[in-house]
Structure 1
Amino acid sequence: MARLRTQIIVLAVLPLLAALAAVGALLVYEMDALEREQSRAQEQAFLAAKREGLRNVVQLAMAAIARQYASAPDDETARQDALAILRRMDFGADGYFFVYDQAGRNLMHPRLPELEGRLLLDLQDSDGVYVIRELLARAQEGGGYQRYVWPKPSSGQPTPKLGYAVMLDRWGWMLGTGLYLDDVEAAMAGWRRGVVAVGRETLVVLAMVAAVAIVSVFAGGLALNIAEQRRADRRIRHLADRVVLSQEEERARVSRELHDHVCQLLVSVKYRFELAARQVDAGDPDAGGRLREAVDSLAGAIGTVRRISHELRPALLDDLGLDAALTLLAEDLAQRGGPQVTLDLRAPASPPQAQAVALYRIAQEALANAERHARASTLRLLLDGDDQETRLEIADDGKGFRLDGSDAGGGIGLSNMRQRAESLGGRLQVQSTASGTTVRVALPRAPDPRRMVDA
């Protein structure tokens, strides 16, 4: 039984662990997918803000040179003034404007003046992007954005950058600017760390829930085991009390039999032999008759002792088996003036010794109850079975009794019968009505040792 409870607890915990593991795996997968999706959305939001800022500063720059740009297309002075204005305009340590002509020649670069006058159409960044060519293409499309890698003035290190360029068609210029994206990458890295931290906290909470659930299951199992153990202890104590009571009742019965029958017979025999001895001494011819009467009384005492011995432990059960013992039990009942017993003994084979004793005692108790309490006139005793179990049935036509034990016929005797059956892994059923009582018991041919221990 304890092993069965352990198996039930394990079978309860394993699906719980499997479900929690599946939930955890699904949570990790969903969090990873959510992190990727949210990262893209967050990055797009950052870039949208960058794009809007770039467009605004380019519009501001065009407004700053609007007067010069409105002059004649071939006014070189206006062009030089516009380049000077753009050179002085910056926003932050790394924000500046640059100007190229349509051939890709740099006309103005406030942070890298060494590039001015150089043809940079074929300049590539570390990712292989033709920077100036792509910026010219975006500008010729009506203004657009381009990502590339460019040295950051404040650090001198190549850094991802988002550029925005427009065409000044009257002069054939490309006006552009850009924002470095390392702050976006830092912000995204921090955001990802936050998401990972939240995911870890969620997994920790899930693990704590799993631990609490497992501890709760084991605590419930432990409480169940303790409760079952206490009930088992109470049953054992109750059984021990019943065993002691049964022993005392059996001793009292044997004592009454010895006192009321054997002792009286032996005293009678003693008096008869004393009388016969005096008659012999006196030469009385009736002395022989007195001796024969004494011998008959002695034979009766011997029979009573044999009957008591048979009730305690029938030697016939050990010598000839259960069928012979049950037959003798029925004959003894009839000789005492009890109900007539119809025997139907057709068990295929003699049961094991422990079962034979249990079946005999159950039959003995059932017949005694029928004789003492049921006022039955006839009984039927059936013994049969197969390879799986041995079955015993005793039915009488008596007055019956209440199964709740409130009648004399349903007391400790019935409990003893049931305990004998259950101790061997069997079962006992009792049906009682006003027209009679039927006791049925079935014992397995090979009782389960674990059931015997648990019982």
Structure 2
Amino acid sequence: MHATYMTMNLKHKIFALTILPLLLALAVIALLVWQRAEDIADQQAKTIEEALLTSKRAELKHYVSLALSAIEPHYQHGLADANAQARAKAALRALSFDSDGYFFVYDLTGTNLVHPRQPDLEGRNLWDMQDRQGRYVIRALVEAAKAGGGYPRYGWEKPSTGQLTEKLGHVVLLDRWGWVVGTGIYLDDVAQAIAEARKRAGDNARNTLYSLGGIALVAVLIVFGAGLALNVSEQRLADDKLKTLAQRIVTLQEEERARVARDLHDGISQVLVSTKFQFELAQYKVEHGGVGAADDLRKGIDDLSSAIHEVRRISHDLRSSILDTLGLSAAIAQLANEFELRNWVAVNFDNQLGDFELPDHEAIALFRIAQEALTNTERHAEASEVQIKLVKEPRQVRLAITDNGQGFDATRIDRDGGIGLRNIRERVEHLGGQFHMTSAPGCTRLEVCLPLSLEAHT
């Protein structure tokens, strides 16, 4: 259950590490696209506004020129001629353009002299009038006229709607009369054009983001599909490996049972039968007064000792009592001594583990590895010398077994069977260690390194 949980967590992490960078990259791209769209919209708005204002400035200049042409005869009549000024005012009130276009006149003190659309303003001093943005409207018009004509912007009530609207004005100064003559064009169409441009830019940006969202969705679906397919494939491989492992466990169990049965049948069983025969023969001789009963008893006792030794050997192969009582170093030393006596092969055991005690699972693993390695050496190596080295290093325990036998092709371990060596490798990998195997004629070396767990203590 824990392994399944860890595997699922690992799959989720892999999936997250695949999806999250993709989504993050798309989010960054989307942000850059949106920012770029905003910049483009601002540039377009400024371009459109400047183009429209340029056009309106030219239009205003044309309108003011027409107004000046209309009052030019009266202006040239004479200085401060009340009748000429009255006729000029009447001419300006009669002029208009579009539905909201008109001409106005102020004196240099800010008093309105002509306002066709708001006649109630005529005669009023509007020098301190401000629009909603706090701009002094009449002061700006007078200052622009004094400066030689300009195009001030201000807010004014639009006649057709009755609402305050941004307006672009143009004024000129008639020096002899002290008049500021001008007109203005409302800029609501400019604001509308800019708003439409921004809307188009926003729509384009949103469409681009929708496209990116679609791409992200397709990419996520592709990754999810690939991950699902990979998961199914890995699950099948895992199932196959589990089946193979289960079969190997069953096979190894059967092989171990067969070995124990063979040892019992070929070893202990025969010795016990021989012992029984010797004791029966001794009994017969004692009962019938025959000679030699004592010799038969001695031979029976010797056979019984051999049976006891064989039982101990089988028990030791199944589980070393020395490993449980004296530790790993003593157990490997016993393995080395038994191997040396059994095969007449010189064994040099270099024990640098000292009094260090390993956790049971690590000690058992190293003992079984040494046992399996010596068994392989005994069966296949034809060696005359074996070296065993057990060393405690700062973060690991290292076991190295070397012989001077005939060697073999280490690259063919997995292809040609090698169940014992595969068992060693799997034990080491299960404990998170490292396994190295090298072989050549005259030198075969097996080295295992296991990391020291938190349970290890001195």
Q: What is the aligned length?
A: 447
Q: Give yes or no for contact 2:95–2:103 (8 Å, CA) kept in 1.
A: yes
CA distance in 2, matches of 1:115, 1:323: 115
* Counterpart pick for 2:254 among 248, 271, 277: 248
- 2:432 aligns with 425
1:149 aligns to 2:155 (yes or no): yes
Shift of 1:279: 4.0
CA distance in 2: counterparts of 1:407 and 1:177, whole angstroms: 98
Structure 1 residues 131 and 52: alpha-carbon distance in aligned structure 2, compared to 1, 3 A threshold: same
Alignment of 1:55-204 (within 5 A): 55-62=61-68, 68=73, 72-73=77-78, 86-99=92-105, 108-115=114-121, 118=123, 120=125, 122=127, 124-126=129-131, 131-132=137-138, 134-167=140-173, 174-199=180-205
How far 1:62 moved relative to its partner?
4.5
Over 3 Å counting, the alpha-carbon distance change for 1:134 and 1:294 in structure 2 is: closer
Structure 1 residues 27-426: aligned runs within 5 Å: 35-36=41-42, 38-62=44-68, 68=73, 72-73=77-78, 86-99=92-105, 108-115=114-121, 118=123, 120=125, 122=127, 124-126=129-131, 131-132=137-138, 134-167=140-173, 174-199=180-205, 230-348=236-354, 349-386=356-393, 388-405=395-412, 411-426=418-433
Partners of 2:394 and 2:112 in 1: CA distance: 107
Tell me, yes or no, if the aligned pair for 1:392 and 1:440 is still in contact at 8 Å: yes
CA distance in 2, matches of 1:300, 1:273: 15
Unaligned stretches of 5+ residues in structure 1: 450-455
CA RMSD across the alignment: 4.1
For 2:436, the aligned partner's letter is Q
Query: Cα distance, 1:274 vs. partner?
Result: 4.2
Kindly state the Cα deviation for residue 294 of structure 1 after the two structures are TM-superposed.
3.3
Kept after mapping to 1: 8 A contact 2:155/2:167: yes
Question: Cα 1:409–1:328, aligned 2, differ >3 Å: closer, same or farther?
Answer: farther
Answer whether contact 1:369 1:409 (CA < 8 A) is retained. Answer: no
Amino acid at match of 1:336: R
Farther off after superposition, 206-215 or 406-415: 206-215
Shift of 1:414: 0.3
Amino acid of the structure 2 residue aligned with 1:344: D
Say which SS state the counterpart of residue 413 (structure 1) adopts: helix
Q: Gapped runs of 5+ residues in structure 2?
A: 1-5
Structure 2 CA distance for aligned equivalents of residues 103 and 327 of structure 1: 119
Give aligned-pair identity as a percent: 46
If the length of structure 1 is used for normalisation, what is the TM-score? Answer: 0.80
Secondary structure of the equivalent of 1:166?
A: strand
Tell me the SS of whatever aligns to 1:342. Answer: strand
Determine whether 1:442 maps to 2:457.
no
The range that moved more, 199-208 or 181-190, is 199-208
* Aligned CA distance change for structure 1 residues 25 and 132 (closer, same or farther; 3 Å): same
Deviation at 1:370, TM superposition (A): 0.8
| Distance apart, 1:366 and its partner CA | 0.9
Q: TM-score, normalised by structure 2?
A: 0.79
| SS of residue matched to 2:144 | helix
